Chains A and B, each alone.
Chain A
């Protein structure tokens, strides 16, 4: 687990400042690349450098690999509304050749991007000069074979597919299927299944829109494909429920195969109960045996074989329960926090306010609160655990609930699929923490 114990060498921090608010963070399958999307529609990809030969025990750094504008703001003339260019989600495709592919989406349009390297160019053409000008054929007296010469590395991003006009409502999730041929996209009321090669049509597999919109009481908040079973996916709702669907059962998966809901504790019921039960993120474990859901105050781990309650519940910031009315007033209660597993599924991580983020070890049941702050970037710094005091007496180094900065929220975090490397997005700043020991 990442948090430093006594005797550890500490943490290296890469801190990158963005000009816009970071809206999504995602490692690729190998962890070599880290993609970020921001509110301005840009995608920035970081690459893990190879460890230096001199100091192989230290991990390489993450440096900028590619930057491109993925989405532009659009104007829907029919409804006279702007379509934001903010990147809601990025999902990588598994690598099949030298190029990398990722899906990025805003509220309405999903795009498939190809990121490829060019580090060689051909020289010595017969029919044209190095400048590209055509040579006079009569002047060619001998033939030569063009030779590939190294050049400065150039990384190019090009849009290969644009999947548009399939969502009336705002897209909140995309998820690549384990068949590597299809993916799903989910908005507030519908889920569509796409083939990566086909952009002019998609299959609608879930539709919860009522005939009369006035009867609408529940929306889809997140969806994900099962990591191994290409026919299975889940979607979560604003009422705190998760439905697991099997695409083999029917073309339209309105009827779920499994329905996950924890019975409500009647003693803690309030007018805010439903709002705080709304699930903001759902993630399968790498093993595919469990899934994790994030609601406003907690993270829950579910066994896919047990629908009536989660197997583990972790309180993220229970001290906010008595502040729900104020958080409703300032809209913070609607913040959508994400969550993520580590590579071995032994730990989970999620964000909180005041630039705090939380990690839970599922085996030891230890948990830790850390802060993404510039203090962490000092040399020889170790991440100091933070604590929020809830009682009357505030201990030294503790911070009181009322002093928390609710504008500093960590909504997006990502964990390297294999190593102890985490990426934490704190508004405009990206923090990449790595264990010093390789």
Chain B
């Protein structure tokens, strides 16, 4: 279960610190938690991990609603506690001000399919795409007889940006050292995207994660894999704003999606980032509600919390 050399003890005893932390919003304990940087780091890691889990989903099969709801609730809990602590404000301000490295994005594959018996049975790797929480929910909607609902929302991409916040925690707690390693893998990613069946790309995306992980030198014991995507260094501010911008929900309309598909039939999630940074296909940049002034994490939290 644990990769060799991982600091299991630290991670799990640290988890106990997280577990036993909450005693209510009393100021003294909040202050005590503030002082415990290890607790804050672990909580932050848990938040990052949860956000990534929400975004990376199977795209060919509908995501598990129960799991998504539980993860979203976890994110909410963390955000509430951080808001009480006052650390939420600090974090969002810090991320907004920070000069994030623009030549690297680190994503962590936490849904290791190599350890999945199905993957071991030789099934083809499930495709991945980046999906926001509410898109994940909306993708369950279906036009049915007599059903008033007329949303036909396609699961789509929301910015992969939370990984940037995790980039600032590369030194990471939980003994996740090996998992946060950056590797030169984008060549492989390119190949995998070319393997995609164009039909599957209506859902924007497929990462041959199983292939990728097997290409990875790690063994099946590894729970994590990592891959890194390089996109050309854009001018910092406009690129970041594009990267973090919301995609107009009208994008989810069937017509727009199909148009998008025709113009860019083999889009993967990281193609999207490339295209955004280089001011790519009009279907994607046509959003009229770009929130260029919001930090991406805050934005995602707003989606989740609905504030």
Determine, out of B91-99, B112-120, B181-189, B242-250, the stretch whose residues face the partner at the interface: B112-120
Q: Do residues A81 and B61 form an inter-chain contact, with CB atoms below 8 A?
A: yes
Selecting from A7-15, A48-56, A227-235, A269-277, the interface stretch reads: A269-277
Q: Enumerate chain A residues within 8 angstroms of B53, measured Cβ to Cβ.
A: 331
Q: A322 is contacted by which of B15, B23, B61, B121 (Cβ under 8 Å)? A: B15
Decide if A80 is an interface residue (CB 8 Å cutoff): yes
Closest to A278 in B: B70
B110 at the interface (CB under 8 A from A): yes
Q: Is A79 part of the contact surface with B, judged by Cβ < 8 Å?
A: yes
- Which A178-201 residues sit within 8 Å CB-CB of chain B? 188-189
Interchain CB contact under 8 A, A165 and B64: no
CB-CB < 8 A to A427: which residues of B?
117
A18 smallest CB distance to B (angstroms):
11
**A76 at interface by CB-CB < 8 Å:** yes
Question: Mask for B105-140, Cβ within 8 A of A = 1, else 0?
Answer: 000001110011110010000000000011001111
Residues of A within 8 A of B223 (CB): 326, 329-330
A216 contacts B69, CB within 8 Å? yes
**Chain B contacts for A203, CB-based, 8 A:** none
How many residue pairs link A and B with beta carbons under 8 A? The number is: 151
Choose the segment among B72-80, B268-276, B290-298 that binds chain A (4+ C-beta atoms closer than 8 Å): B72-80
- What is the total number of residues of chain A having a CB less than 8 Å from a CB of chain B? 55
Q: Evaluate whether A214 and B303 lie within 8 angstroms (CB atoms) in the complex, with A78-B142, A328-B49, A407-B115 already known.
A: yes
**Is there an interface contact between B142 and A402, defined as CB atoms closer than 8 Å?**
no
Chain A residues near B14 (CB-CB < 8 A): 325
Q: Does B65 contact A (CB under 8 A)?
A: yes
Among listed A217-225, A244-252, A339-347, interface-contacting one: A217-225
Say if the beta carbon of A323 comes within 8 Å of chain B: yes
Interface assignment of B1: CB less than 8 Å from any CB of chain A: yes
Known: A271-B18, A271-B46, A427-B117. A76 touches B137 (CB 8 A): no
Asked whether A79 lies within 8 Å of B19 as measured between CB atoms, the reply is no
Task: Let me know if A326 and B1 touch, CB within 8 A.
Answer: yes
Instruction: Count chain B residues whose beta carbon lies closer than 8 angstroms to a beta carbon of A.
Output: 66
Decide yes or no whether A110 CB sits under 8 A from chain B: no
Q: Is the CB of B69 within 8 A of A217?
A: yes
B65 neighbours in A (Cβ, 8 Å): 169-170, 188-189, 219
- Confirm or deny: A238 has a beta carbon within 8 angstroms of a beta carbon on chain B: yes
Indicate which residue in B22, B78, B306 contacts A215 across the interface (CB closer than 8 Å). Answer: B306
**B26 interface hit (Cβ, 8 Å):** no
CA distance A188 to B200 in the complex (A): 26
Cβ–Cβ contact A269 & B134, under 8 A: no
B66 touches A221 (CB 8 A): yes
**Could you tell me the distance in whole angstroms from the C-beta of B178 to the nearest C-beta in chain A?**
13
A325 in contact with B15 (CB, 8 Å): yes
B73 touches A274 (CB 8 A): yes
Query: When the two chains form the complex, which single residue of B64, B137, B144 contacts A213, counting CB atoms closer than 8 Å?
Result: B137
Q: Kindly list 4 other residue pairs between chains A and B, CB separation below 8 angstroms, not including A214-B306, A329-B224.
A: A216-B137, A269-B22, A274-B70, A405-B1
Write the residues of chain B forming the contact surface with A, with a CB cutoff of 8 angstroms: 1-2, 8, 11-16, 18-23, 43, 46, 49, 53, 59-62, 64-67, 69-70, 72-74, 76-78, 110-112, 115-118, 121, 133-134, 137-145, 147, 152, 154, 174, 200, 202-203, 223-224, 303-304, 306
